[in-house]
Amino acid sequence: MKAIILAAWEWSRLRPLTDTTPKPLIKIFGKPIIEHTMDSLHKYVDEFIIVVKYRQSLFREKLWNKYKKTPITYVEQWDEAGTWAAIKWIKVKWDFVILNWDSIFDKDDLEKICKLKWYGCLVKKVDNPEKYWIFKLNKKDEVVEVVEKPSTFIWDLANMWVYKVNHHIIDYLKEVELSPRWEIELTCGLNIFLKSFPFELKKMKWEFIDIGYPWDILTANSHFLNKLKKSKKKWKVEKNVTINGNVILWKWSVLKSWTYIEWNVYIWENSIIWPNIYIRWNTVIWDNCRLGNWNEIKNSSIWDYTNIAHLSYVWDSVIWNHVNIWWGFITANLRHDWTNIKIPVKWVLTDSWLRKFGCIIWDNTKTWINTSTYPGRIIWSSSFTNPWEIIK
pLDDT band at residue 18, thresholds of 50, 70 and 90?
confident
Decide if 37 is inside a domain.
yes
- pLDDT, residue 182, reads 63
Residues 11 and 101 in one domain: yes
CA 267/CA 273 separation, integer angstroms: 9
Each residue's pLDDT tens digit, 25-69: 888 988 899 999 999 998 999 999 998 888 888 998 888 878 878
Each residue's pLDDT tens digit, 129-164: 888 889 988 888 888 889 888 888 888 889 998 999
Decide if 76 is inside a domain.
yes
Domain total of the chain? 2
Decide if 125 is inside a domain.
no
Decide if 67 is inside a domain.
yes
Residue 65 phi/psi, 5-degree rounding, is 60, 20
Decide if 379 is inside a domain.
yes
H-helix or E-strand spanning residue 37:
helix 33-41
**Alpha carbon 163 to its chain's center:** 20
Residues 261 and 318 in one domain: yes
Reply yes or no on whether the pLDDT at 304 is more than 90. Answer: yes
The upper half-sphere exposure of residue 161, i.e. CA atoms within 13 Å in the direction of its Cβ, equals: 18
> In 3D, which of 151, 281, 296, 180 has the Cα closest to residue 225?
281
In terms of residue numbers, what domain contains 318?
Answer: 216-391
Residues 345 and 384 in one domain: yes
Residues 232 and 295 in one domain: yes
Decide if 96 is inside a domain.
yes
Residues 179 and 257 in one domain: no
Q: What is the CATH number of the domain that holds 344?
A: 2.160.10.10
Decide if 109 is inside a domain.
yes
Q: What is the CATH number of the domain that holds 50?
A: 3.90.550.10
Residues 258 and 314 in one domain: yes
**Alpha carbon 383 to its chain's center:** 25
In this prediction the pTM is 0.86
pLDDT band at residue 84, thresholds of 50, 70 and 90?
low
333 vs 127, residue with greater confidence: 333
Residue 82 phi/psi, 5-degree rounding, is 100, 160
- pLDDT, residue 320, reads 92
Amino acid at 241: V
Residues 272 and 304 in one domain: yes
Decide if 134 is inside a domain.
no
Residues 178 and 32 in one domain: yes
Ordered DSSP codes for 154-195: S-SEEEEEEEEEETHHHHHHTTPPPPTTS---HHHHHHHHHH
Residues 239 and 170 in one domain: no
Residues 307 and 190 in one domain: no
- pLDDT, residue 142, reads 85
CA 364/CA 19 separation, integer angstroms: 13
Residues 185 and 254 in one domain: no
- pLDDT, residue 179, reads 64
Residues 61 and 190 in one domain: yes
- Give the catalytic positions in this structure: 310
Each residue's pLDDT tens digit, 318-355: 999 999 999 999 999 999 999 999 998 878 899 999 99
